Amino acid sequence: MNITQLSDIAILRMIGDFIKKKRIDRQKTQDTLAYEAGISRSTLSLLERGEKVNLITLIQVLRVLDELQILEIFEIRQQISPIEYIKLQKKHERQRVRNADRAAEPPPSEW
């Protein structure tokens, strides 16, 4: 199935089916899950039927069902470019140590 070809309504139904299946797998009634998520049973019923609900409702239900990990795809991870990585490595390379005696001497005069 190519999700990009689904309509918004079809995606909502798919989410609703997912929630319902996970609820049943965990042997929870709609009343129990709704109570634990802090929403009304009718709101949960709307979600399971693929109706429009608030995003916070989905998050609350996923949290109770222990399924929040599906939202990890939205996490933005900082990536370092190869060029920046090389620059960082160069900064941490060992530096040459100058001879302290030579640094203290004034440069030779041309006269």
Question: Could you state, in order of their start, the residue ranges of all structural domains in the chain?
Answer: 3-74
pTM exceeds cut of 0.85: no
Q: Letter for the amino acid at 1?
A: M
Question: Which architecture characterizes domain 3-74 according to CATH?
Answer: Orthogonal Bundle (1.10)
- The answer to whether residue 103 scores a pLDDT higher than 60 is no
The rounded percent of the chain whose pLDDT value lies above 90 is: 63
E-state strands within 28-88: none
Q: Model confidence over 46-82: pLDDT tens digits?
A: 999 999 999 999 999 999 999 999 999 998 888 888 8
For residue 91, pLDDT over 80 is answered with no
CA 39/CA 58 separation, integer angstroms? 10
Q: Alpha-carbon distance 40 to 31, whole Å?
A: 8
> Cα torsion for 7, 10, 16, 20, to the nearest 10°?
-150
pLDDT value of position 43: 98
pLDDT exceeds 70 at position 111: no
Q: Which residues contact 58 (CB under 8 A, 6 or more apart)?
A: 15, 19, 47
The larger pLDDT score, comparing residue 101 to residue 65, is at 65
